[in-house]
Amino acid sequence: QVQLVESGGGLVQPGGSLRLSCAASVSIFSISVMGWYRQAPGKQRELVGTISNGVTTTYVDSIKGRGTISRDTAKNTIYLQINSLKPEDTAVYYCNGRQRGVEYWGQGTQVTVSS
């Protein structure tokens, strides 16, 4: 079993920055791929980006150039840094990890971008 605990969400003004954290209960070396998803109200959940063996991929065009996925292996934690936040970034952000062919999800953390 893998537990993923997200934190770092909150209310931020447009143009601000946030760093979301996802702490895993196991070594992230044992997790094949970890990723960040988000789901805005009334919209489908979308894959923001992934990190695997330190290599990151960003899938959402509007996040490219503003978002950075990183990891701290000592803390079993991955991060999503988003700069220049826009109201369109408002969503619940979810952490995901895959181990032994099984996907695990965090509880989600709310990000609200509003003045």
pLDDT, tens digit (0-9, with 9 covering 90-100), for 59-81 = 999 999 999 999 999 999 999 99
Radius of gyration for the alpha carbons in the chain, expressed in angstroms and rounded: 13
Contact 22, 5 (CB under 8 A): yes
- pLDDT of amino acid 66: 96
| Surface-to-core class of residue 102, CB atoms within 10 Å of its CB (0-12 exposed, 13-18 middle, 19+ buried) | exposed
> Average pLDDT for residues 92-109, to the nearest whole number?
97
- pLDDT of amino acid 42: 94
State the average pLDDT for the chain: 96
- pLDDT of amino acid 37: 98
- pLDDT of amino acid 6: 98
Confidence of residue 14 (pLDDT cuts 50, 70, 90): very high
Contact 68, 80 (CB under 8 A): yes
> Average pLDDT for residues 16-36, to the nearest whole number?
97
End-to-end CA distance of the chain: 40
For 87, phi then psi, to 5°, come to -55, -30
Give CA–CA dist 57/110, Å, rounded: 22
- pLDDT of amino acid 2: 96
Give CA–CA dist 11/5, Å, rounded: 19
- pLDDT of amino acid 101: 93
- Residue 9's identity, in one-letter code, is G
